[in-house]
Amino acid sequence: MPAPVASDPRRPFGRLLTAMVTPFTEDGSVDLAGAQELATHLVDRCRHDGLVVNGTTGESPTVSDAEQRSLLEVVLDAVGDRATVVAGVGTNDTAHSIEKARDAARLGAHALMAVTPYYNKPPQSGLLRHFTAIADATDLPVMLYDIPPRSVVPIEVETLVRAAEHPRIVAVKDAKGDFSAVAWTLARTDLAYYSGEDALTLPLLSLGAVGVVSVVGHLVGPRLADMIAAVEAGDLARARELNTGMLPVYDGLFRTQAAILVKAALKLQGLPSGPVRPPLVDATDDEVARLRRDLAAGGIEL
């Protein structure tokens, strides 16, 4: 199944993607029907060009490989004909990541996302070898996920320049917050940059990023799409206005681990979410009350 929006090489996965939560039933099992419903809602009602399945917000560390394959399969079935479905396949084990990449390709994923290996703190040469091995494993385009707050090790500019030489490493999801490094990477490569930190999406767009892989997109997808369009049209005043209106939502969803509060917000809206899996814990009554206030301040009616 070809990627629906891959015709523009500058934006290989579109503009607006969300790292989708994994809905669970109340007994903790994966809610496949709920995943299809949520994916359809995001694409058909919230103007998403694509979804990342089995990423951090999808609680991938506690979702088994078999469950991840099932999730990818049902999301592809639900929206794969009209949105780019990116499979998160990165782990801190190169062989395991290759296996997951091949599984995703076999199931029909349009692209892969590979996070920086976490916990084992590889050197830059190890990062390059890890990412190129994943890219070599399939014919799918690859987005690297640079998130040192979780992985400790950043992907340095020189490593990104080397990685960009691989024909299938085409994009970066940036949650590093180093604008100088982003500017230099954009100046020296053709990598497409996607913001991976919602509060920094506007400044990254101003540097030349092409879109966002969002968390708040679960709730404010149309406004994010309008903000990206405003930047592309050169209307920075409108983009700033939209961004300012979303500030309470950015804060509200990140007062604790994002999956916890996104699921709480989706539940408040009557959308599939369910509990989180341990070691995460569900939002407390006080956290939900604060979330309601934050979302209301951000113009979201519950």
For 206, the enclosing helix (H) or strand (E) is helix 201-207
145 a catalytic residue: yes
Say how far apart CA 215 and CA 261 lie, in whole Å: 10
Q: Answer yes or no: are the C-beta atoms of 246 and 298 closer than 8 Å.
A: yes
| Catalytic residue of the set 118, 119, 121, 145 | 145
Q: Which tokens in the block code for residue 242?
A: 């939209």
Burial 1-14 (b: 16+ CB within 10 A, else e): eebbbbeeeebbbb
Residue 72: which residues within 8 A CB-CB, separation 6 or more? 53, 54, 85, 87, 104, 107, 109
| Catalytic residue of the set 100, 118, 119, 173 | 173
173 a catalytic residue: yes
Strand stretches in the chain, DSSP E: 16-19, 50-53, 84-88, 111-115, 142-146, 169-174, 192-195, 211-214
Residue positions annotated with a catalytic role = 145, 173
